[in-house]
């Protein structure tokens, strides 16, 4: 008799006594093992997909953060170097800096009292496909 979970008995003689030995055929069939491996594989693939996307996002955010630090550093340099007399002087200063960025400068007045420049720094990352933008007001000469 073959089947799943069927107990088989056989008898062994030890001395003058007969002993019934239970032979349990409790185990896994080949189909059960294959189905278990298939289910585990599907679960593992789902987790691998999640982890690989997480790693990609971590590197992407690292690149974005690097670009933001570049833009922030340029603004800090501008704050430390102000006041600028005119747009030409500010443009010359920005042209002298190195990095993967572009900028725009517009003459402006803050609150109707303070003359200066609206500066926009655009720092690029991911081979120039993406960018971060930082805007600020830089004081001009009084």
| pLDDT tens, residue order, the chain (142 aa) | 454 544 555 566 666 666 665 555 677 788 989 999 999 999 999 988 888 888 888 888 888 999 999 999 999 988 888 778 888 888 888 899 888 899 999 988 888 888 888 999 999 988 888 999 999 998 887 6
30 falls within a domain: yes
CB 91 within 8 A of CB 102: no
DSSP-derived secondary structure letter, 84 = B
Task: Please give the pLDDT value at position 1.
Answer: 46
Task: Please give the pLDDT value at position 72.
Answer: 92
98 falls within a domain: yes
Task: Please give the pLDDT value at position 93.
Answer: 87
φ/ψ of 116, rounded to 5, equals 180, -150
- Print the domain residue range for 133: 7-139
Number of domains in the chain: 1
1 falls within a domain: no
Select from 134, 110, 142, 132 the least CA-distant residue to 64: 132
118 falls within a domain: yes
Task: Please give the pLDDT value at position 9.
Answer: 56
Which helix (H) or strand (E) is 42 found in, with range?
helix 30-81
Task: Please give the pLDDT value at position 24.
Answer: 59
Task: Please give the pLDDT value at position 121.
Answer: 94
105 falls within a domain: yes
89 falls within a domain: yes
2 falls within a domain: no
13 falls within a domain: yes
Task: Please give the pLDDT value at position 23.
Answer: 58
Task: Please give the pLDDT value at position 126.
Answer: 86
């Amino acid at each position: 008799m073959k089947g799943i979970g069927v107990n088989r008995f056989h008898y062994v003689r030890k001395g003058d006594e007969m002993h019934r030995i239970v032979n349990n055929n409790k185990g896994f069939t080949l189909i059960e093992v294959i189905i278990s491996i298939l289910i585990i594989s599907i679960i593992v693939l789902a987790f691998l997909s999640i982890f690989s996307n997480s790693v990609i996002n971590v590197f992407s955010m690292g690149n974005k953060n690097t670009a933001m630090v570049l833009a922030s550093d340029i603004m800090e340099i501008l704050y430390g170097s102000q006041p600028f007399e005119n747009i030409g002087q500010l443009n010359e200063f920005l042209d002298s800096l190195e990095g993967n960025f572009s900028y725009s400068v517009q003459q402006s007045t803050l609150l109707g009292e303070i003359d200066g420049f609206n500066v926009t720094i655009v720092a690029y990352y991911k081979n120039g496909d993406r960018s971060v933008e930082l805007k600020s007001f830089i004081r001009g000469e009084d």
